[in-house]
Amino acid sequence: MNVFKKISVAASVIAVATLSSCSDKGYWDEAPLDAGLSFQCSSYNETLSPGANEIVIPLQRSVNAVEETVDITFTPDANCPSDIIVPSQVTFAAGSNSTDIVIKIENATPPYSYTGKLQFSGDTSYSGISALTLNCPVSYTWFSLGTGGFIDAWVMDNAEDMFQVEILKAEGFERYRVMNPYKEYYTTIGPASWEDWIASTGPSYVEFWENADGKLSFNSYSTGLNYEGVDGQAIGAYSWTAFGGSSDYTGEYDMWYEPGYAVLSPVYYINGVGGFGQQQFAVQIELPK
């Protein structure tokens, strides 16, 4: 036991000597210098509404004795809209550890995104964050128009009438969503027509919008059918634009047939297999009156 005690004491003396030598260089018992700046996080994500917006990014510092002005740099991504205004400087008040970078957007328009990188001049604090990635997509604000009508005459070839559906409109834009357009068909008379081809109740919505020339466009979607019932062989409804402007397909059949009554002409296609061509005026949508 005496030998063990002597060895333990000797080891303790060596450890103290080691700590003392490290202490001279500030690695152990001195807090690291922390005089610098930092963002609170490395990325900022927010979905913006259409129109004017403000984005507030906090900036922090560790020493607050005097007023301090810091240069700010914003490097936009290639597709970032140009109406974003980022201040070139921000100022910390004396006694304050934080300030805000207030970014202004004049007129955010869906579906664009404001993306890029923020940086500051000066030293970064210990374990601080020196750059922040901005990612702010713009989303439409949707409201319900009420109950309208929908039919896909190619899919619903045995239906006698349109199905009642809820239709949403984007506030300030001629853009519409037909909600769950295939669900009632697939859960009622659909199985008698398509049997085991039905893979789901279809898309949660079909979105279409009016272009500057008054013609209509729509998002491509899966119809909820699988080709010959084979898993993974989904039958999709595609806009003519999905086929690289093929001369066989045209957008002239996507239009307002009359006010409040839209007709769309999807190309029904199975990836890697082929398709059924463009079905003129197959999809018909009646807005709520």
Q: What span, in angstroms and rounded, lies between the C-alpha atoms of 70 and 78? A: 26
Q: Is the pLDDT of residue 283 over 80?
A: yes
Confidence of residue 30 (pLDDT cuts 50, 70, 90): very low
Confidence of residue 2 (pLDDT cuts 50, 70, 90): very low
Among 148-157, 169-178, 253-262, 270-279, the minimum mean pLDDT is found in 270-279
Q: What is the mean pLDDT of residues 207-224?
A: 95
Confidence of residue 247 (pLDDT cuts 50, 70, 90): low
Token digits of residue 96: 């304050």
Q: What is the mean pLDDT of residues 17-29?
A: 36
Confidence of residue 200 (pLDDT cuts 50, 70, 90): very high
What pLDDT shows up at residue 16? 38
What pLDDT shows up at residue 275? 87
Return the CATH superfamily for domain 37-137: CalX-beta domain (2.60.40.2030)
Q: What is the mean pLDDT of residues 229-253?
A: 85
pTM of the model: 0.74
Q: Is the pLDDT of residue 236 over 90?
A: yes
Confidence of residue 6 (pLDDT cuts 50, 70, 90): very low
Q: What is the mean pLDDT of residues 181-201?
A: 90
Between 246 and 192, where is the model more confident?
A: 192
Q: Which residues pair with 256 in a beta bridge?
A: 262
What pLDDT shows up at residue 229? 78
Q: In the chain, what are the domain boundaries?
A: 37-137, 142-286
- Tokens 């910390």 locate to 92
Q: What is the mean pLDDT of residues 118-133?
A: 94
Q: In what order do the strands lie in the sheet with 175-179?
A: 216-218, 205-210, 175-179, 163-170, 142-152, 283-286, 261-264, 255-258
Q: What is the mean pLDDT of residues 259-284?
A: 94
Cβ-based neighbours of 136, under 8 Å, separated by 6 or more: 44, 45, 46, 47, 48, 53, 55, 113, 114, 115
What pLDDT shows up at residue 245? 64
Nearest to 64 by CA among 2, 152, 125: 125
End-to-end CA distance of the chain: 97
